[in-house]
């Protein structure tokens, strides 16, 4: 009787091990991926590091800064300009590693604008309204995947096991213009 109980226990342990091996992630990247916390335009998304709200999205060919020495930047593609309000929660952070994801392709936010929200680092509790911009190919905006693009407000290039504010945007329906003026970031009322 003891022998059959041991054999049965061994078979059960073997079955559990086989199930664990079959359902385990196949690559190490899947183990440490960030957790997307989804929100819609106008909603405040709360994560460990940030309170954030996507206010608007626009498309343009040329960007001009609105500061002491205006800067104009053209592209052969298009600029996806995202207007945001961001507030850090516990420490000084920036969204310098934000991403625009369209159909599995990732575009980093452009860091060449002097008054880009990605370059601002306010302390905890200080909300700031500003913009970030992504340079994309023109043809990307007419693809079906552009209707379900995602803006991810990452505070690190590879955020491991952290939550990331993620907003779905429809780039196909976003307003378009030849040129946009990018205002300087400004402090606003706290988000929460």
Average pLDDT over residues 10-28: 72
> In this structure, is residue 1 part of a structural domain?
no
pLDDT bucket at 33, cuts 50 / 70 / 90: confident
Q: Cα dihedral sign for 177, 179, 183, 185?
A: positive
pLDDT at 102 over 90: yes
107 falls within a domain? yes
Scan for tokens 């905006």, then name that residue.
141
- Domain of residue 89 covers 34-188
- In total, how many domains does the chain have? 1
At 44-84, the pLDDT tens digits run 999 988 899 999 999 999 998 887 778 888 999 999 999 99
Q: What is the pTM of this model?
A: 0.81
- The answer to the question of residue 13 being in a domain is no
9 in a structural domain: no
Name 72's Cβ contacts closer than 8 Å, sequence gap at least 6.
62, 63, 64, 65
Residue 12 falls within a domain, yes or no?
Answer: no
Q: DSSP code of 104?
A: T
In a domain, 128, yes or no: yes
Q: Torsion-angle region of residue 42: left (phi > 0), alpha (psi -120 to 50) or beta?
A: left
Interatomic CA distance for residues 132 and 111, integer angstroms: 8
d(CA 147, CA 111): 25
Residue 168 lies in a domain: yes
In a domain, 3, yes or no: no
* Band of pLDDT at residue 18, cut at 50, 70 and 90: confident
What CATH number did the domain enclosing 124 receive?
2.60.40.1240
């Amino acid at each position: 009787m003891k022998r059959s109980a041991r054999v049965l226990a061994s078979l059960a342990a073997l079955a559990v091990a086989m199930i664990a091996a079959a359902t385990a992630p196949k690559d190490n990247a899947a183990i440490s991926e960030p957790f997307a916390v989804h929100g819609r335009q106008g909603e405040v998304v709360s994560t460990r590091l940030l309170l954030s709200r996507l206010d608007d999205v626009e498309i343009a060919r040329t960007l001009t800064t609105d500061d002491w020495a205006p800067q104009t930047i053209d592209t052969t593609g298009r600029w996806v300009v995202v207007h945001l309000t961001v507030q850090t929660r516990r420490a000084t952070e920036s969204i310098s590693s934000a991403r625009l994801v369209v159909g599995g392709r990732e575009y980093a936010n452009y860091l060449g604008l002097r008054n880009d929200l990605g370059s601002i680092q306010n302390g905890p509790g200080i909300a700031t309204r500003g913009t970030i911009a992504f340079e994309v190919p023109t043809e990307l905006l007419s693809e079906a995947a552009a209707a379900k693009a995602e803006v991810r407000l990452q505070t690190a290039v590879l955020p491991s096991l952290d939550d990331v504010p993620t907003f779905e945007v429809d780039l196909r329906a976003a307003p378009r213009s030849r040129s946009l003026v990018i205002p300087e970031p400004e402090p606003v009322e706290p988000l929460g």
